[in-house]
């Protein structure tokens, strides 16, 4: 009896009625999507590449590598006079700001 009820219930469940969808549902979705922009999650590297492409610059990898090499060359070729000059500037700054302390 119970098995019979189980079978009947399963049969009713399988016969659940589904009203057919509109014929043009898929077409409507496709057309609607054509007017929608996609959200693009781009990485930092991709945005740098886009920026370079926008300004017609060479590949970012080459530019960054060249800048790094140039920086290293400039760093290594800095003369002692330049360094002394910087030290002199720092000394002047500390001399000027020393007066501001008591005020």
Partner 1 sequence: MPEPWPEKEDRELLALVQEGSHPAFAELVQRHTGRYYRLAFRYLQNREAAEDVVQDAFLKLWEDPQKWQAEKNTKFTTWFYRVVVNLCLDWRKRKRPVELNEDMPLIDERETADQAMLRWEEQKVLEQEIAALPERQRTALNLCFDEGVSNQEAADIMGVNLKALQSLLMRAKTTLKERMKSYL
Site residues (vs partner 1, CB under 8 A): 4-6, 8-10, 12-19, 21-22, 25-26, 28-30, 32-34, 36-39, 41
Longest dimension (CA), the chain: 105
Cα 95 from Cα 92, distance rounded (Å): 5
Residue (20 or 58) nearer to partner 1, CB: 20
CA distances from 48 to 9, 36, 77 (A): 62, 25, 30
Residue (11 or 103) nearer to partner 1, CB: 11
Q: Report whether 21 contacts 27 (CB < 8 A).
A: no
Q: For the CB of residue 44, give the shortest distance to partner 1 in the complex, in Å.
A: 16
Q: For the CB of residue 48, give the shortest distance to partner 1 in the complex, in Å.
A: 20
Q: For the CB of residue 57, give the shortest distance to partner 1 in the complex, in Å.
A: 25
**Phi and psi (nearest 5°) for 68?**
-65, -45
Residue (42 or 64) nearer to partner 1, CB: 42
């Amino acid at each position: 009896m119970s098995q019979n009820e189980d079978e009947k219930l399963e049969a009713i469940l399988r016969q659940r009625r589904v009203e057919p969808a509109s014929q043009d549902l898929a077409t409507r979705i496709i057309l609607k999507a054509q007017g929608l922009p996609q959200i693009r999650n781009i990485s930092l590297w991709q945005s740098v590449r886009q920026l370079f492409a926008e300004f017609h610059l060479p590949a970012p990898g080459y530019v960054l590598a060249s800048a790094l090499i140039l920086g290293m060359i400039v760093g290594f070729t800095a003369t002692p006079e330049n360094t002394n000059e910087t030290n002199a500037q720092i000394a002047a700054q500390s001399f000027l700001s020393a007066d501001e302390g008591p005020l």
